[in-house]
Chains A and B, each alone.
Chain A
């Protein structure tokens, strides 16, 4: 007889207390073992004891633990990181620079990237993946042109198209015509003659002509804005094909056919927060931090990353850890002054007439009081 049935009512109550994974493991173990009720209860009791012991106590200074747990390994990162330089097709921010970028919540990462995962149909073979990559990568008129001439006599720009490029990029002359027709207007006529496109202008200013030429060459014929380069890669573990893009435009790429929108993501925190929401940004921050550390062979517990991510996304927006974010928006004027730009913070607080309530750690250290951490958190109410 399995031990499970004996202790069912007890287990039912544990379901509320234990995390799902632990609960399932316990049930699985109990159902496999042969034991009487007393033994089973003992097992449950031990499990519960260990679980509660592993929980973090109220008042534990987890912020400091996280800071040290991430800070110490990253001191080793600087020395190691340059061994990896030049190994990839992509220049991408790695190691410490990337980590600083994340916690500073920069508006644009130094190298915006997207990891584009593909659906069932397209992730199986290189050819299918390339197909999607072509849809994503933006192609300008410049890449399709074999030669570009400016005719100063008739005030026109003559672009000779490269049929090879057209075939390779899967662009039909019809599509090209349709896109270029939209450029027309404001004294600009477009004419097609086989492989030659002629733009006629009504201006006779050579400087302006050249300016218009440059603009015309940058016209996007197909693909998605901001995606400059695509590389098709195969996951070594799963054998799945996916695409990495240089330049990021998450909103557009999620709507492309063949893309798996549930897994595709960008490394731009603000973009992810905008398109997918703050919760997705939280996950991204934690995952990216973890990835940076893992790449350097540093083992830091995931829960530290989550704490950082939680602090950064607490207000529903992505905030940096620093003067303009988490540390700079603290309630206490003394805590803010203790961090950076002391005088300015104090003057600002004074002009606004802020008051100090001594609830945080920094201000209490400054005042020489007990800090509200651990046993310092408890107060005594005395009956007089």
Chain B
């Protein structure tokens, strides 16, 4: 009781502080930046060299701007793509250089402030679906290059679609609270004790790559906790699990070769596994365009992430499987899966990934394995893997018990260390539309 009361008091204090913040913000909120004439000698933003534009294009790819700011089959960067969130739909804005509906009238200063602080040109606070908590790491020079590139693409006249957020999330002032809790402004500061390659990788992963948007769990307030950075989590509204990048039990890369990590990111397929689900989109739209050196730098940084795992290991009793379930799973596996993945689960990588000793199969959340069995999936077609292999859907051939049995089988066979899954879990994911 006493603890509860203290908690309640603390919570009250927190709410009060946030309200004060919100009120203060309301009165002190930033407006537009003062308009300045461009200084002579400074690079005129309207006429940057081709080199800067090309660099900006490369960096915009690394930041995967296109994924959110372009509708499928829509005009590039014209916005309008809905982003479902637990708080309602957001619509990414038009970032083409159209004067009226895009960012044609922005200055490099305003663009940098937006990227660096999450404050839009008008002074409005951006919703953190825009990954400014990551982009804040981007250097001014890179920001200017991205801006120069965006100014060079064809302008599209397409008004922004208003967000459809539920109350109270449609009150932008509340974002002050979110920012207080989850946003730390600041460009990337290189670590002098690490190699240039590691630092380049860290800059890309923490900054433009905005990996933590998915690979760090999102809490009920839509924030990600830095103490659990890269420890994985469910991606809200997509029903895919973004594995931990720090736990060797999930997608922790400590035991991977640099080549396999770089291949996974840039090619979309490696000897250890292929990308699928939302990560296939990231490789398709963004990572395939990275230089070999940058893909390798990201691999160096990711491999060196300190192993950290706050989840408790499962006791061996939790891995016990009923013999008849195991037998049913084995029979389904031999019939439907063994041709590609091999009787011993060794696969034919990189075409068909191994399932034995594959963290993606054995990690605590079985969501991704179940979804792959139900919906299948193709690795993305990339510059280095133009004709990827794919897995067919089995949702129409296997019932919930059979899906559970075969997923259970691959999670525990061949010394895999996963836990059994239930028909109810399969049923839950069957209701989710493939995406």
Interaction A to B: no
Q: Which residues of A contact B (CB under 8 A)?
A: none
Q: Which residues of B contact A (CB under 8 A)?
A: none
